[in-house]
Amino acid sequence: MALWSLLLFINSIHLLVLRCQASIDPIAIRLRDGNGPCSGRVEIYYNNSWGAVCDDSWDILDANVACRQIGCGLAKSAPGNAHFGPAQSSFWLDDVGCKGTEWNLYQCQSNSLGKHNCQPNEAASAICS
């Protein structure tokens, strides 16, 4: 009977972990056209397409979250004004406001996905350590 109880307990824990993981919905992120995988224009994948992040309100705290999300440490800088070239697609995020402790950009405050007032030369970038 103890083995059966242990198996039920382990199964319950496994289901709990799966439920917790399923509730996390991070957006895919990449840095494009930089000098390696840890620098470039910030783009996120949403609704089956890649889109840029606008540089309105973009700062080092936002770049820190982006760098952390892709596994590139902390940000050394957070250039705007299409530092790595203009956006090649629509903007998915605008007015991003991270505290710096978030694990992904989706957890940061921002306008609704796809709602922006940005031009291609307003693409946000990150240079990570």
**57 inside domain:** yes
**5 inside domain:** no
CATH number for the domain that contains residue 105: 3.10.250.10
**1 inside domain:** no
pLDDT digits 0-9 by tens, 18-50: 444 444 445 799 999 999 999 999 999 998 899
**20 inside domain:** no
**Side chain identity at 33, as an amino acid letter?**
D
Q: In whole angstroms, what is the distance from residue 68 CA to residue 100 CA?
A: 10
Phi, psi of 2, deg, nearest 5 = -65, -40
pTM: 0.78
pLDDT digits 0-9 by tens, 45-101: 998 899 999 999 999 999 999 999 999 999 999 999 999 999 998 999 999 999 999
**7 inside domain:** no
Q: Judge whether 122 and 57 are in contact, CB under 8 Å.
A: no
**81 inside domain:** yes
Domain that holds residue 59: 27-128
Domain count, the chain: 1
Rounded to whole angstroms, the maximal C-alpha distance in the chain is 67
